[in-house]
Amino acid sequence: MLDALIGILTALLFSWVMLIVALLVVRPKGAVPADAVRMLPDLLRLVLRLAADRALPRAVRVRLWLLTGYLAMPIDLVPDVIPVLGYADDAIIVAIVLRSVVRRAGIGAVRGHWPGSADGFAVLCRVAGLTPSGPAITRE
């Protein structure tokens, strides 16, 4: 019984480490996690605004609602009580979803719903690996 419990805990720990490594591999190049953490309130408002926009394709809105649910969950890959690193996994996942949104809906949708400053939008583009100019909204 004890061997089975140790095996399960080891497998869970290994899976957690592999998820963290995968997040680090797909993170935007040159992005500073501290930049993303400072932008978190604006990012949350952006995600909610995009998710509520009925002009966006349904698949995009579903991804954004799933992201909102993940961000609201009290359990994270890296606990939020760990300074900077605790929010880094959230920022990386937001960046991945925003890249997906831009591929489907265009940078104009993200720019139109951005609640922060122009400088903040430039940082968002850099952190999420977005290009500031891109196609307009596409419909499904």
The number of distinct structural domains making up the chain is 1
What values do phi and psi take at 44, rounded to 5? -65, -45
Asked, for residue 133, whether it belongs to a domain, the answer is no
Indicate whether this model's pTM tops 0.75: no
1-57 confidence digits (pLDDT tens): 788 878 877 876 776 666 566 656 655 555 555 555 567 788 888 888 999 999 999
Asked, for residue 134, whether it belongs to a domain, the answer is no
Asked, for residue 81, whether it belongs to a domain, the answer is yes
103-133 confidence digits (pLDDT tens): 888 888 888 999 988 888 887 787 677 777 6
Cα separation, 28 vs 35, in Å, equals 12
Asked, for residue 114, whether it belongs to a domain, the answer is yes
Asked, for residue 48, whether it belongs to a domain, the answer is yes
Domain span at residue 112 reads 2-128
